[in-house]
Amino acid sequence: MVSLKDVAEYAGVSPSTVSRVLTDKPVVNENTRIRVMEAVRLLDYKPNELAKSLKSGRSNTIALMVPSIQNMIFPTITRGVEDTARKAGYTVILCNTDEDVEEEKRYIAKLRTRFIDGFIVASMLPGSDHIRKLWREGFPVVLTSRIYDDTIDAVGIDNEAATFDAMQYLIRGGHKKIAFAMGREEIPLYMDRYKGYRRALESSGLPYDEQLVIHETTGTGSFYFLIQNLLKRGIQPDAVLASSDPKAFVVMRALHDAGLSIPGDVSVMGIDNVEASSQVEPPLSTVAQPLYEIGALAASKLIRQIHHKEKTGKLAPPQVDILKTDLIIRKSTK
């Protein structure tokens, strides 16, 4: 590996001069500059980023922490993050946490020893004191998927409104007995989506029937049996709103296997608009999160914070961005 010293020797100057040339310091003689640049070119010199980082305390690296990249909403978010980061000269370290706080902490501790510049955290669960602490210590952090409050930078959607919109659509379409496939209650995101369900029922005067709220038991797959149980008990909704697209897929399968047609007998709707939503049969009506934009905005916010911190020494006031969701009507609803 060619080092600054090699270039210096080749050009017949001192390493400091080479450094000055490369960092565009003004006080360098034009001839010297040319000589150095020539040497740089000939030796194909590339400065060692690690050495730079050690000196500067910055690594041009950010970490993206997701529960699991296998969760269908994250590939697109990740792509948004990576594209944006790359354009700004940053590389992205991918961390799967499985929502495990200890794992998350281990990751953070480890990455800090490498002068990571900031974190994008996409965990959904509470128990986030370590994230708050990170922010308080002056570390750039942007949350996505979960917004704590307005004390930390975040990008997300209005989950309650998303469900509300979906419900409005279903209700206007004449559905009166709308079931809700609810995710884990300890996840605020799902509680918000649930609230939207309740609010929509209220605002349209439809009765709230507890039996129509189906609570996830052992993971997304459990909805298969939960839906079939519901039907067996003689309860047949005219629509099912799932609190996420993957849940909607399972719901569709269960309904289909029970001999019901979608949307003929039952309409099904999801929230998220993951890639596969347009691929299933029938294509799923859903409320689209702008996943790519969420990732891209999270990254650009983070990078802006990093720059701000570098200049002023501290973080800019936190700002929460709520992005617009989009009602996508496909063929799973009538």
Applying CB under 7 A, the residues found at the interface with DNA are 1-5, 12-17, 19-20, 22-23, 27-32, 45-48, 51-52, 54-56
Q: What angle do helix axes 101-112 and 129-136 make, rounded to 10 degrees?
A: 20
87 binds a second copy (CB under 8 A): no
Nearer to DNA, 139 or 164 (CB): 139
Nearer to a second copy, 31 or 218 (CB): 218
Determine the Cα–Cα distance for residues 270 and 277; give it in Å rounded to an integer.
Answer: 9
CB of 100 to DNA, least distance (A): 27
249 binds a second copy (CB under 8 A): yes
Determine the Cα–Cα distance for residues 38 and 82; give it in Å rounded to an integer.
Answer: 34
252 binds a second copy (CB under 8 A): yes
User: Encoding tokens for residue 23?
Assistant: 């960092």
Nearest to 263 by CA among 275, 248, 274: 248
Q: Which does 59 bind (CB under 5 to 8 A by kind): a second copy, DNA, none?
A: a second copy
Determine the Cα–Cα distance for residues 15 and 330; give it in Å rounded to an integer.
Answer: 64
15 binds a second copy (CB under 8 A): no
> Residue 177 — φ and ψ, nearest 5°?
-125, 85
**Cis peptide before 282, with omega less than 30 degrees from 0?**
yes
Determine the Cα–Cα distance for residues 181 and 163; give it in Å rounded to an integer.
Answer: 11
Range 127-166, binding a second copy (CB under 8 A):
none
Nearer to DNA, 30 or 210 (CB): 30
CB of 25 to DNA, least distance (A): 7
Determine the Cα–Cα distance for residues 45 and 37; give it in Å rounded to an integer.
Answer: 10
Nearer to DNA, 167 or 306 (CB): 306
**Cis peptide before 15, with omega less than 30 degrees from 0?**
no
Size of site (CB under 8 A) for a second copy: 48
93 binds a second copy (CB under 8 A): yes
- What is the x/- site pattern for a second copy, positions 161-190, by CB under 8 A? ------------------------------
Q: 92 near 64, Cβ under 8 Å? A: yes
C-alpha dist (Å) from residue 23 to 19, 112, 156? 6, 26, 38
Q: Residues 6 or more apart from 148 whose CB is under 8 A from it?
A: 128, 131, 132, 154
Determine the Cα–Cα distance for residues 332 and 334; give it in Å rounded to an integer.
Answer: 7
Which of 34, 50, 235, 329 touches a second copy by CB under 8 A? 50
CB of 148 to a second copy, least distance (A): 26
Which of 198, 199, 215, 253 touches a second copy by CB under 8 A? 253
Q: Residues 6 or more apart from 250 whose CB is under 8 A from it?
A: 220, 221, 223, 224, 227
Q: Which stretch binds a second copy (CB under 8 A): 3-11, 79-87, 158-166, 204-212?
A: 79-87
Range 56-75, binding a second copy (CB under 8 A):
59, 61, 64, 68-70, 72, 74-75
Residue ranges that bind a second copy, judged by CB under 8 A: 46-51, 53-54, 59, 61, 64, 68-70, 72, 74-76, 78-79, 82-83, 91-96, 109-115, 246, 249-250, 252-253, 256, 275-276, 279-283
